[in-house]
Amino acid sequence: MGHVFLSYARRNSEFADRLVTALERRGLKVWLDRSDIPGGAAWDASISEALQDAVAVVVVLSPDALKSEHVVREVALAGDYGQRIIPVEYVPTPPMSAVPARTGLTHAIAYRLAGLQWIDFVHQDFERAVDRVVEALTANRA
């Protein structure tokens, strides 16, 4: 299996790091911007390439993520590339229909996430939720 791209807001870095560690302990390779973009590389090109080459995109949802232009663009680009998107709710996050429109980007993330089942880290045990992410990543893979 190739790498999983993790999209998250910087303010959620502690949770993102914990999730990466848990997924890697389960044998998955996770691409994370802070550790996988080499020095001197073009940041936007590296993100685009990593998204295109990923087997799936896990997006950490939170109110901060919905305000993050980077998360919104990553989700939109993942959709453009036809990537499977697996949303995980880290903290209570309003449904997409309740997110006020700031720009076309807000509509882009709402469109990409509409109808997708979110994996709940808010109300269930962290390790059980990670197991659900792994199940989603390994189910129906080509």
Task: Determine the distance from the C-alpha atom of residue 118 to the mean position of all C-alpha atoms in its chain, rounded to a whole number.
Answer: 11
Percent share of the chain, pLDDT over 90: 53
Q: What is the pLDDT of residue 2?
A: 87
| H-state helical runs in 58-141 | 63-67, 69-80, 104-113, 126-138
| Distance separating alpha carbons of residues 34 and 95, to the nearest angstrom | 28
- How many C-beta neighbours within 10 Å does residue 86 have? 18
Alpha carbons 30 and 111: distance in angstroms, whole number: 25
> What mean pLDDT do residues 29-57 have?
84
Instruction: Provide the CATH number for the domain around residue 14.
Output: 3.40.50.10140
pLDDT cut 70: percent of the chain above it? 83
- Domain count of the fold of the chain: 1
Q: Residue 35: pLDDT band by 50, 70, 90 thresholds?
A: confident
Lowest mean pLDDT, pick from 59-63, 67-71, 93-97, 118-122: 93-97
* Structure confidence at residue 105 (pLDDT): 54
Angle between helices 126-138 and 13-25 (to 10 degrees): 60
> Would you say residue 94 has pLDDT above 70?
no
CA atoms within 13 A of residue 102's CA, in its CB half-sphere: 12
pLDDT above 90 for 133? yes
Q: Please enumerate in sequence order all residues whose Cβ is within 8 A of that of 51, keeping only pairs 6 or more positions apart, or say none.
A: 5, 57, 74, 77, 78, 81, 83
- Domain ranges, residue 126: 3-138
pLDDT tens-place string over residues 5-15:
999 999 999 99
pLDDT at 104: 52
> Which DSSP helix (H) or strand (E) runs through 5?
strand 3-7
Question: What is the rounded distance in angstroms from the CA atom of residue 103 to the CA atom of residue 121?
Answer: 28
